[in-house]
Chains A and B, each alone.
Chain A
Amino acid sequence: MSYWFRNDSRLPQERLAAASYVIVGMLAILLLGFWKLQVVDSDKYGQLAERNRVRSIPIIAPRGRMLDRDGRVLVDNYPSFSVLLLRDDPAEIEKNLPGIAEGLGLSLDDLKEQLNNTRNLPKFQPIVIKPEASPADVAFIESHRADIPLLEMLMVHRRRYLPGGFMAHASGYVGEVSEQQIESSNGRLRPGDIAGKSGLERQYNDLLVGTDGMRRVIVNSVGKEMGRLSQQEAIPGKQIQLTIDYDLQQIAEEGLAGKKGAIVALDPRSGEVLAYVSRPAPDPNDFAIRISKEQWQRLNEDPDRPLLNRGIQAQLAPGSTFKIVMATAMLESNVPPENFTAFCPGAATFYGRQFKCWVYGHGSHGVVNLHNAIVHSCDVFFYNVGQRMGIDRISKYAKLLGLGARTGVDLPSEDTGLVPSEEWVQRVFHRKWYPGETISVSIGQGAVTVTPMQLAYMAGGLASGGDYKQPHLLKDAQTVGEKHVELSEDTVEQVTMGLYGVVNEGGTAGAVRLQGIEFCGKTGTAQTIGADAKARYGKGEKKFKDNAWFVGFAPRRNPEIAVSVLVEEGGHGGVAGAPIARDIIRAYYDKKNKKNQGQITAEDQRYNLKKGDEKQTAEASKAILKPEEAVAILPTSEKKKASAE
């Protein structure tokens, strides 16, 4: 060993002491740093840690189902997954948005727009960026949990409607709430929430929607759920029972298959709507998932106007069905008197213009009284009646019988139709009423328009002796509006006898007679353009084909069922409209008789079959539900039990 280190014990004690001070100073500064974080700013960091740890995930409440009058499911839900974007971390979103758009097959611009639209929401509230996750989306989210911790899947309840647009215009459809709906909801609705957009879904949205719950969970740094802090259960929406009879509805749907028009069947004794069809109809299932802009545009631009709810929005000339009003007005006002007769040579001239009867060219009606005029729908008779009554008297009785005003049916956006009067032309067109117009109105042409709902309501109320019940589709409606129109017994008797004759005395609907049923009705064949114009444009054009109407009921007095049928461009009302009404009324009586006799019917079998299906789907959906969500849809009493466990 060399001795390079020997005899050298002079230590720099001062500098060593300085080193000690440096050490103490250094640790004191570090301690100060901890003091700042742990004592001064402790609350702030505590909140940040809490925000890291806790994530709030909404539990979507299922919408209430819709059942028919016998308890059969018409509108249901099925479980599905939505993709949520967590918005706590804007920088992270900025970075990952292109990757998310690509991974989920979304447009980046749409995503950005959506984020921009929701920027005013609290940051902790996630937004739905894809309502229906495909298996590939689920795989994408799961595999990117660590590097894109912004995506979360949410179990939602998707609306399921019967296929093919069945009852679509009655049920309506759901969609994401609009800005206006959000604004008017007083903070109850948030963007991305589902609400009824049309039909009963919209009308009874408040009943159908539940209250979403919230699950607060602990998540680890890669977004995996590690535990649950609290759970506020979702309160499911209420199930509603409708007055619709699935069996009648089905026959009505079949009757209008491939056609353009509407059917309303109601029970005039209660106002209950038994069947409601408007065709063409969109498939509301397409709306249950977010509908694309293109699809929406296509529906809006379709010349057949599938979005028009014809049962309450088609305001068309009623044609000869308006003669029910004319006959009633004549008998009630005694202008012209009850025994008035007219000679019909096939046409008549009023105010220098010829008005044709529908038999023009085929023959004539001869001398007709009121009864025969109704049975054979003689236009000339009613031209004369109208001329004598004047427009204001016609208008008064039309309104009295329920035309020209909303029936008050519980469907949104009902239209009023139009009952013209001198006052009306003055107000709207600032001109005088031409007497010739009265002649047209007398046979339901000209300015007068009605909706199919009004027609069924009017005929049903009249045959009930003037007792009108507000039409409705909700079975346990709290308040059903009532209206009593003072009509003499003789008037009701004579008019309904006429309508009985239409079907049963070889009238314009003689082909639809039903054995053993007092089936009454009135046909209507309304021109869509004037006869002259039609001759000019050519007869073959379907576009200008007449609208077929039929309104019928049974039995003759105090009917149990009233049906109105509109087939646009359907041609003759007795041919295109009456058979559909007949099928519905026959089905109604078949069902009633079988029920009375206690027989097992084909309907019952179908019903049982359907019930079986329902049980199966219920079990299937239970299997997909996570336990906690399953708890959310239990009735309250069972829920208590479940949470107690």
Chain B
Amino acid sequence: MKEAPGTRDYDWWLLVILAAICTIGVLEIYSATHGSALAGMHMKQIRWIAIGTVLMLVLSRLDYHVIMDQAPWLYIAGLAALVAVLAVGHTRFGAKRWIPVLGEFLQVSELVKLIIIIVLARFFAEVRSDELSLQDLIKAGLLVGLPLALILKQPDLGTALVLMPMLIVGAFLAGLQWKHATVIVVIGILMLPVGWHFMKPYQKERVTSFLHPEEDAKGSGYQVLQSKIAVGSGGFWGKGFGNGSQNQLGYIPVRYSDFIMSAWAEEQGFKGVLVALGLYMALLLRLVQNAQRAKDRAGMFLVMGVTAALGFHVLVNVAMVIGAMPVTGIPLPLMSYGGSATLFVFLAIGLVMNVRLRRFVN
């Protein structure tokens, strides 16, 4: 029925970009941790990248239609996992997000992000009309709302927020009507105070310290200030690899993970930022191109779901590093240290590869 896709059909450019981002990430993790108690972290990251690459290749061989066929079951499994993690999950850093898998702690919500991409792609692919009806929009909203509520309960505001751009981009491509969009935006603004009411104290603190950084010099306001000092003091040319004082002396908070862009910007300067952001732009545009060339709407939605998730990660993380957005704990894809996050990116790219490999197959 189908020919097996050949190796030349892989998106080699995408792989090169991925490899480049992973490389600067590993280098900066090394620079940020080599002199501290965390030394050796870059090797662990390399291991995650290797595992991720294997999983990506495996996932790319499995026809995405087959995967999307199982969307309802995946959705139920995802919800079950979220409930399970709330019930028996492992608490770290004050939140229940982790379950032990093969001796490592994995964040369930990362897997759920992947599932939601698949579920939304299936849902929007089944919408046959050019314009998205209000009924379908509400259905899609509920589909996302349920896991979102469960993730907020952990609490993990960052991951919960990532589900929103997936929904928005999906709906937009499925033919969202402008009048609906306007109504949603208005309702969203009106709901802000209600959202504030349901926020955890530390989340509120992050928002207030973002709005008034000088009032919280040691909390998250301090983190953002130190990050800005790191970025700014890097100047155009940077302080050199392993020479960033903010990085090496530990002034940058979680410099190997959420704030790795800060460490990179300090040591490599604006020119390094140009390279890093250039690579992310290339990655995202390449993903969009893959969506444009997808064989069908299902593939297109799948790829754009991934694009929305990664794009949101990049935007929120980098904006946080330069103090333009509050601290939300969203890592920078493939540069920040982290097992679950890295695996999520590779699996997501695996889906993209899957779509690409099958674009000429009928």
Residues of A within 8 A of B (CB): 1-2, 4-5, 8-13, 15-17, 19-20, 23-24, 26-27, 30-31, 33-35, 37-39, 41-42, 44-46, 48-50, 52-53, 89, 91-92, 95, 218-222, 226
Contact = CB atoms under 8 A, between A and B. Distances in A.
A95 B281 contact: no
A49 B232 CA distance: 9
Residue of A13, A19, A53, A218 with most partner-chain B CB within 10 A: A19
A11 B229 contact: no
A35 B270 contact: yes
Contacts of A45: 228-229, 231-233
B291 interface: yes
B68 interface: yes
B297 A38 contact: no
A27 B277 contact: yes
4 nearest A-B pairs in the assembled complex, by CB-CB distance: A45-B232, A49-B233, A221-B250, A220-B249
A17 B300 CA distance: 13
Given A23-B284, A23-B311, A52 B229 contact: yes
Given A38-B273, A42-B233, A49-B245, 12 more contacts: A1-B66, A4-B122, A5-B298, A8-B298, A16-B291, A19-B169, A39-B236, A42-B235, A46-B233, A49-B229, A49-B233, A52-B246
Residue of A4, A13, A27 with most partner-chain B CB within 10 A: A27
18 contacts: A4-B122, A5-B68, A5-B296, A8-B297, A11-B297, A12-B173, A13-B292, A16-B173, A23-B281, A23-B285, A26-B311, A31-B273, A34-B277, A38-B269, A52-B251, A53-B245, A53-B249, A91-B217
Nearest to A42: B235
Contact of B288 (A1, A20, A30, A42): A20
Interface residues of B, number: 59
Interface stretch (B8-16, B53-61, B147-155, B314-322): B314-322
A49 B307 CA distance: 36
Nearest to B244: A49
A33 B228 CA distance: 10
Given A11-B292, A11-B294, A19 B304 contact: yes
Contacts of A38: 231-232, 234-236, 265, 269-270, 273
B292 A8 contact: no
A39 B315 contact: no
A9 B232 contact: no
Residue of B126, B233, B235, B269 with most partner-chain A CB within 10 A: B233
A219 B249 CA distance: 7
A220 B249 CA distance: 4
Given A30-B315, A33-B319, A46-B235, A220 B126 contact: no
A19 B233 CA distance: 34
Contacts of A34: 231, 265, 270, 273, 277, 322
B281 A37 contact: no
Contacts of B360: none
A37 B233 CA distance: 8
Contacts of B280: 27
A37 B298 contact: no
B125 A4 contact: yes
B34 interface: no
A16 B270 CA distance: 30
B218 interface: yes
A12 B175 contact: yes
A16 B319 CA distance: 24
B324 interface: yes
Nearest to B324: A33
B173 A15 contact: yes
Contact of B126 (A4, A20, A26, A219): A4
A92 B215 CA distance: 10
Contact of B218 (A16, A35, A95): A95
A505 to B, nearest CB: 86
B73 interface: no
B269 A16 contact: no
Contact of A2 (B69, B173, B235, B296): B69
Residue of A5, A24, A89, A218 with most partner-chain B CB within 10 A: A5
B307 to A, nearest CB: 7
Contacts of A13: 292
A26 B68 CA distance: 30
Contacts of A41: 232
Contacts of A19: 169, 172-173, 288, 291, 304, 307
Contacts of A2: 69
Interface in B207-228: 214, 217-218, 226, 228
From DSSP, what is the main secondary structure of chain B's interface residues?
Answer: helix
A48 B319 contact: no
Nearest to A221: B250
A176 to B, nearest CB: 30
Interface string B272-297: 01100100110011001001101111
B230 interface: yes
Interface string B168-185: 010011010000000000
Residue of B68, B232, B249, B318 with most partner-chain A CB within 10 A: B232
A35 B322 CA distance: 10
B315 A222 contact: no
A9 B277 contact: no
Contacts of B311: 23, 26
Nearest to A46: B233
A215 to B, nearest CB: 17
Contacts of B65: 1, 5
Nearest to A37: B232
B19 to A, nearest CB: 20
B172 A30 contact: no
Contacts of A30: 277, 315, 318-319, 322, 324
A5 B125 contact: yes
B300 A49 contact: no
A49 B295 CA distance: 52
A31 B68 CA distance: 37
Given A37-B322, A222-B250, A9 B281 contact: no
Contacts of A24: 281, 285
Contact of A42 (B175, B236, B294): B236
A394 to B, nearest CB: 76
Contacts of A33: 319, 322, 324
Nearest to B231: A37
Contacts of A89: 217
Contacts of B285: 20, 23-24
Given A34-B322, A48-B233, A9 B296 contact: yes
Contact of B232 (A16, A46, A226): A46
A321 to B, nearest CB: 71
A31 B277 CA distance: 8
Contacts of B246: 49, 52-53
A89 to B, nearest CB: 6
Nearest to A227: B249
A50 B292 CA distance: 49
Interface string B251-281: 1000000000000010001100110010011
Contact of B249 (A8, A27, A52, A95): A52
A27 B315 CA distance: 8
Contacts of B277: 27, 30-31, 34
A463 to B, nearest CB: 73
A24 B289 CA distance: 13
Contacts of B229: 45, 48-49, 52
A219 B277 CA distance: 32
B318 to A, nearest CB: 5
Nearest to A9: B296
A8 B115 CA distance: 22
Residue of A4, A38, A44 with most partner-chain B CB within 10 A: A38
Contacts of B218: 92, 95
Contacts of B324: 30, 33
A337 B175 CA distance: 136
A221 B250 CA distance: 5
B39 to A, nearest CB: 15
